Amino acid sequence: MMKRLLLYIVVLFSFSGYVKCQANDSIALYNNVLDYISRDLNVDRESIAVSSVIYDLDSFIFIPVAETQEQKEMLIKRQGFYRGDFHSDILDSNFRKLSSSSKYCLFFSYLMDGVLLAEIYELQRFTKQIDYSFIVATSLCAYSYMLIINKEYKVVKSHRIELD
């Protein structure tokens, strides 16, 4: 009985350490991507609000810029794999919320096969909440990114498309 209890405690602590490690890695991932996009567009990071929802963003627009057949197949697979939009505690608690000083709003997809998609919109006017449909419909300009991420969660390559 005592051995089982001890084993249970060890497994519980191992799992909580794993979850904490994953959370820290995810924070590093999103920080690296946010830094990359702000530098790429030459905008102040502090002017970018980050949605707390992970979205199923469109990957088909990147098929023409895919460099290999394997990358094209991954993008098609990604488009066909519907995961659904979901709330991220990591994004919610660690990144800038929408405020009157926000000039941009950034939306992330989930990381799959080393690829993260992101969309950033220049806001036309202040809104109190991040509503994807509203921001897409009223934005001044927008960019979609396909970012190739390595195991250290660094951006090693990217493709940017200006959305009309």
Return the biggest CA–CA distance within the chain.
65
Handedness of CA 14, 148, 47, 134 (dihedral sign): negative
d(CA 41, CA 38): 5
pLDDT in tens, the chain (164 residues): 655 544 444 434 443 333 333 344 589 999 999 999 999 999 999 999 999 999 999 888 998 988 889 888 888 888 888 778 889 998 988 888 888 888 999 999 999 889 999 999 999 876 677 888 888 888 888 999 999 999 999 999 999 999 87
d(CA 102, CA 105): 7
Q: What local confidence, expressed as pLDDT, does residue 126 receive?
A: 66
In sequence order, the β-bridge partners of residue 104 are 48, 122
Domain chopping of the chain, boundaries: 2-163
In sequence order, the β-bridge partners of residue 50 are 106
| Whole-prediction pTM | 0.82
